[in-house]
Structure 1
Amino acid sequence: MWYVSTRGMAPRVDFEGALFSGYAPDGGLYMPEKLPQLDRDTLRQWSVASYPSLVKELCSLFIGPELIPRDDLNDLIDRAFSRFRHKEVVHLSRLRNGLNVLELWHGVTYAFKDLSLCCAAQFLQYFLEKRKKHITVVVGTSGDTGSAAIESVQGAENVDIIVLLPKGRCTKIQELQMTTVLRENVHVFGVEGNSDELDEPIKAVFADVAFVKEHSLMSLNSINWSRVLVQMAHHFFAYFRCAPTLDLHPLPPVEVVVPSGGAGSLAAGFIAQKMGLPIHLVVAVNSNDIIHRTVQRGDFSLSEAVKPTLASAMDIQVPYNMERIFWLLSGSDSQVTRALMEQFERTRGVSLPKELHSKPSPLLSGSRLCSQVPGGRAGCRADPGDSRGDPRPGAQGGALYPDAEG
């Protein structure tokens, strides 16, 4: 399996190269050169699998056995999930009227990021031990990524981690999770500004390929393909637990609501769709609603400022994983994707071409949820035309699960 940059100006790499790179040298994000297509028989076989087993099956499609043999891959994933509090690792709670909640919070830091980061850390250490190398991980966080990343690598001899958090903009619990870890390989810094602003110098650092190579730097934000890969399992697990049967033709669709900030799980769901999983995605955001505006109107532009809300980990204006979705919508056209993203980086806003904006509508819709209202209380609302909790016609119930930075 080879990986290419969404902007098409960087050499292709294997999984190990994508894992250690984060951003591609041309500023793009790595994506599989070709997505595997899953037939009905494969989906039927996977439908009875546990969550860890689904992660193993998905990872085996995207990580060649020449890099990590299957037995080693299985061991790494088992080790990654060994400290989760729930025996299933991920659990689906059934509510009323076909609504279900996918519980992704049973990891050590109580954030869904534990699921992908604990796997990414195992992959990292596997290659580092094999190559006798040391790496420094640089992470910018609006809350949960930082604590989950620290937990996944703290105490590792071949990894140092530097975490930048926006002072006063994380929850107290998340801040304490990051600042109270007394390990020599953990370095946490509070910075002025919001999470989008602290991402800018990080991206500038990774654009300096020589500097990154000299200091062995990498990122574990959801720009990293390994994060998106594991998060695809959330969608498969939700589908198999919600779909009433796999004997219908066509397979019954399931609606999945994804609260999102950085759009990592959204991109994972979109990739799962492209592989043949019949889900309909509804992205839910707070008042930092760039993804909602992009889906509804093709308006991929920044607001004047990040608006603080009670969902602080979702207070993001630059959903970097939308670049992966644009690349998929354009038919893997790196020239179109590069032009869009470079214009966005120059002008802080771009209107999607009509032919691109019209494509997600059958697969993706937007909703504004959990906006902070005057008085400091959390309010929920759905804009006209959005999902209001009822599954779309033909959809079999639905699953909602928490997402934040990615």
Structure 2
Amino acid sequence: MRYISTRGEAPALGFEDVLLTGLATDGGLYVPESLPHFSVEEIRSWRGLPYAELAYKVMYPFVEDAIPADDFRKMLGETYSVFSHQAVAPLVQLDTNEWVMELFRGPTLAFKDFALQLLGRLLDYVLEKRKQHVVIMGATSGDTGSAAIEGCRRCEHVDIFILHPYQRVSEVQRRQMTTVQGDNIHNIAVKGNFDDCQRMVKESFGNQSFLGGKTQLAAVNSINWARIMAQIVYYFQASLALGGPDRSMAFSVPTGNFGDIFAGYLAKKMGLPIAQLVIATNRNDILHRFMSGNKYEQHQLEHTLSPSMDIMVSSNFERLLFDLHGRDGAAVKDLLERAAKGPVSIEDYRWKHARKLFDSDAVDDKTTCDTIRDIYEKNEYLLDPHTAIGVRAARNCRRDSTVPMITLGTAHPAKFPDAIAESGLVVKPQLPAHMADLFEREERYTVLDNNVSEVQGFIAKHWKNA
């Protein structure tokens, strides 16, 4: 399988190179040249498979040119054996035909573990084969950083530099990153917001001269295709558990960077019957404003109780725009260049085509807290603020009550105690046993100004072979 850029000017690459490259040389994101497609009969035959084996069925077509089948199966078995629930992604029922899929059973209590536990193993495999060393540079709005560090910290061939917005992630999220010890692990707190961190990462990938030609950057953000690939699997898992593929499903996805919901879009294109995808956002509602009114316009970023979605530049949205424009890279490049200068819209027929599958909603902090309290009082089930936004958006946007609605539960509530407290509940979410001493562990991070040259200089000085 070959991978092509959403901007049409970069060379097509195989899986190994896409894994290590991240951003394409033309500034675009890599997508498969073509997708595998599974028949209803084939999907039905996967009922009852353990999660790791289902993951093999869904993902192997994307990597088969690079990784032997037995090696990939072993990798997947190791990846999902560290999750705390045998089902890996268990479903919890909230109401009639309404469910939450718990994606926070991995080691860092967030859905990012599904992809980043695998990404670390993929990097180790490919870098060992190539006898190559890389520098991982990533930006996080909260959860990607800890999941990336946990997934990659044992990799012998990487140095990890994770940027997070200073004082704009929850304390649990910060400590999960900054208390992991290792000579190859570097946390950078940038005096800015997530979009500033993400911009620095993209700019650095575009010009890596600050590394002096001695190594290259590798991506852990969802610009890396391997992240998207791994997230496709749990859509199949949820569907098969609730009667799919013989009935359609609807999914509500808390999203800021559009990666997790784009994986659901791909699952549908690969043959999984999905009737509706709900984009659930907070006050940073650029995706909702586009999907509800065909207007893509950046506003000032706001700090909310759901910090992992405090994003205004949704990188993976470019992948959907590529499809909506008939995979015309030049058209996508032109649109995004205009979007950087002001509001843009797409042709009405393209927007209406997207609306056949997608709905959206933006949920403010008060409504988020109301939803946390309401669900707990009725079900004794505690939602984190991101999942609460997903549940509220699902209820506001639901098209057909006979279709199962599944909200992706993206994080453990213990990561966001301030939001739980603000909802008026006296219950205090507890960290799992393996994190019980998190607040006693020593932290280590560096605060830097919102300046790309300063950040690049820090990386150039501190990677292993500098």
Please report the TM-score for the alignment, with normalisation by the length of structure 1.
0.91
Given that 1:252 and 1:394 are in contact with CA atoms closer than 8 Å, whether structure 2 keeps it comes out as no
- The residue aligned with 1:224 is 224
Given that 1:265 and 1:403 are in contact with CA atoms closer than 8 Å, whether structure 2 keeps it comes out as no
Question: 1:279-358 to 2 correspondence within 5 Å?
Answer: 279=274, 280-303=276-299, 305-345=300-340, 347-358=341-352
Write the distance in 2 (CA, Å) between the matches of 1:366 and 1:342. Answer: 25
Which one has a larger percent helix, Structure 1 or Structure 2?
Answer: 2
Q: Match of 1:89, as an amino acid?
A: V
Given that 2:134 and 2:217 are in contact with CA atoms closer than 8 Å, whether structure 1 keeps it comes out as yes
- The residue aligned with 2:57 is 57
- The residue aligned with 1:130 is 129
Q: Identity across aligned pairs (percent)? A: 36
Write the distance in 2 (CA, Å) between the matches of 1:180 and 1:331. Answer: 46
- The residue aligned with 1:33 is 33
Write the distance in 1 (CA, Å) between the matches of 2:239 and 2:316. Answer: 22
Q: Match of 2:178, as an amino acid?
A: T
- The residue aligned with 1:46 is 46
Given that 1:326 and 1:337 are in contact with CA atoms closer than 8 Å, whether structure 2 keeps it comes out as yes
Question: 1:6-405 to 2 correspondence within 5 Å?
Answer: 6-64=6-64, 66-208=65-207, 214-243=214-243, 246=245, 251-279=246-274, 280-303=276-299, 305-345=300-340, 347-369=341-363, 371-373=364-366, 378-379=369-370, 387-388=394-395, 391-393=398-400, 395-403=402-410
Write the distance in 1 (CA, Å) between the matches of 2:249 and 2:326. Answer: 24
Given that 2:137 and 2:160 are in contact with CA atoms closer than 8 Å, whether structure 1 keeps it comes out as yes
Compared CA separation, residues 191 and 210, structure 1 to 2 (3 A):
closer
Write the distance in 2 (CA, Å) between the matches of 1:396 and 1:69. Answer: 38
Write the distance in 1 (CA, Å) between the matches of 2:94 and 2:349. Answer: 38
- The residue aligned with 2:450 is none
Given that 1:255 and 1:395 are in contact with CA atoms closer than 8 Å, whether structure 2 keeps it comes out as no
In our comparison, the structure showing a higher alpha carbon Rg is: 2
Given that 2:360 and 2:397 are in contact with CA atoms closer than 8 Å, whether structure 1 keeps it comes out as no
Following superposition, the deviation at residue 357 of structure 1 comes to: 1.0
Q: Match of 1:187, as an amino acid?
A: H
Following superposition, the deviation at residue 55 of structure 1 comes to: 1.4
Given that 1:155 and 1:185 are in contact with CA atoms closer than 8 Å, whether structure 2 keeps it comes out as no
SS of the residue aligned with 1:36? coil
Structure 2: any 5+ residue segments left out of the alignment? 372-387, 412-466
Following superposition, the deviation at residue 45 of structure 1 comes to: 1.5
RMSD: 2.0
Q: Match of 2:303, as an amino acid?
A: P
Q: Figure out how many residues of one structure are paired with residues of the other and give that number.
A: 390
Write the distance in 1 (CA, Å) between the matches of 2:55 and 2:91. Answer: 16
Please report the TM-score for the alignment, with normalisation by the length of structure 2.
0.80
SS of the residue aligned with 1:349? coil
Write the distance in 2 (CA, Å) between the matches of 1:402 and 1:350. Answer: 32
Following superposition, the deviation at residue 68 of structure 1 comes to: 0.4
Runs of 4+ more than 4 Å apart: 209-214, 379-382
Compared CA separation, residues 311 and 174, structure 1 to 2 (3 A):
same
SS of the residue aligned with 1:236? helix
Following superposition, the deviation at residue 36 of structure 1 comes to: 1.6
1:238-262 CA-to-partner distances (Å, cap 9, x unmatched) read 111223x64xxxx422110101111
1:152-186 CA-to-partner distances (Å, cap 9, x unmatched) read 11132211100111111000001011111111110
Given that 1:260 and 1:403 are in contact with CA atoms closer than 8 Å, whether structure 2 keeps it comes out as no
Write the distance in 2 (CA, Å) between the matches of 1:225 and 1:323. Answer: 13
Write the distance in 1 (CA, Å) between the matches of 2:410 and 2:93. Answer: 19
SS of the residue aligned with 2:52? helix
